[in-house]
Amino acid sequence: MARSTLDAIYYGAIEAFSEKGYNDTSMDYVAEKAGVAKGTLYYNFKGKDELFLYVMKRGAHSLTDVITNVFDQPADPVTKWRNYISTQLAFFEQNRSFFRLIMQNMWGPNLLESVTLHELFHDYFVRMDQELQKAQELGLLSESMDISTLSASIFGMLTIPAIRSIVHDLPIDEEKRVNSITHTVLQSFKGGETI
């Protein structure tokens, strides 16, 4: 199946921004990476800012869709969380360049003046919070646990090892890493479920 022009631009822009960073990436370089004419970029986007925002929003929505699909599968809560962890790490592995962009914008200068990372990932955290709330209602999580803190902590437990993997050029979704994170997350659940 042929990729659409927007798909080509999306993937080309991810590669370009990931390689050179936002400031050093030109629209010419994005066009080259995307395999489209520079005019095609400007037909679809007013400029680099709009293109960058599109890339970040589309990537965030893709991650949210992936985890939503996992949480929508019929399974017990422990299995859902195991699947969530392995699926998110696999997403980071399959989308390493997008993941690099997330990290560059999490700790680098704010390149998204019109939207924050919190706003970009709002739907992602809403969905995580819903699943954690369900687990709390089922008595699997203590009532004293703050759901938003727990969801941010879980995101951090997935993100930091993934960053280290990229820095050391290792696979993000390595089985030992998935198992270690899964074990740690499931310890939050009553009964200290383990894998």
Q: Do domains 1-45 and 52-186 have the same CATH topology?
A: no
CATH superfamily of 1-45: Homeodomain-like (1.10.10.60)
CATH topology of domain 52-186: Tetracycline Repressor; domain 2 (1.10.357)
C-alpha span between 111 and 101 (Å, rounded)? 10
CA distances to 98, 137, 180, 190 from 11, rounded to whole Å, are 9, 40, 31, 42
Q: Name the pTM for this structure.
A: 0.86
The candidate with the shortest Cα–Cα distance to 134, out of 58, 80, 66, 54, is 80
Domain boundaries, the chain: 1-45, 52-186
Structure tokens at 70: 């996992």
Q: Over its length of 195 residues, how does the chain's per-residue pLDDT go in tens digits?
A: 346 999 999 999 999 999 998 889 999 999 999 999 999 999 999 999 999 999 999 999 999 999 999 999 999 888 899 999 999 999 999 999 998 888 877 665 555 666 677 788 899 999 999 999 998 998 888 888 999 999 999 999 998 898 889 888 889 988 898 899 998 888 888 655 544
